Amino acid sequence: MLAPYVQAALRLAHYERLPDGEGTFGSVAALPGVWASAPTQEACREALQEVIEDWLLIHLRRGAAVPALDGCEAG
Query: pTM value?
Result: 0.92
Which pLDDT tens digit goes with each residue over 7-30? 999 999 999 999 999 999 999 999
* H/E element, 7: helix 2-11
> Does residue 74 sit within a domain?
no
Please tell me the distance from the alpha carbon of residue 24 to that of residue 40, in angstroms, as a whole number. 6
Residue 15 lies in a domain: yes
Asked whether residue 36 is domain-assigned, the answer is: yes
How far is 66 from 31, CA to CA, in rounded Å? 8
Do 18 and 25 form a contact (C-beta atoms < 8 A)?
A: yes
**Per-residue CA distances from 1 to 25, 42, 61, 63 (Å):** 27, 24, 15, 17
Query: Has residue 58 been placed in a domain?
Result: yes
Mean of the per-residue pLDDT values of the chain:
95
CATH number at residue 28: 3.30.160.250
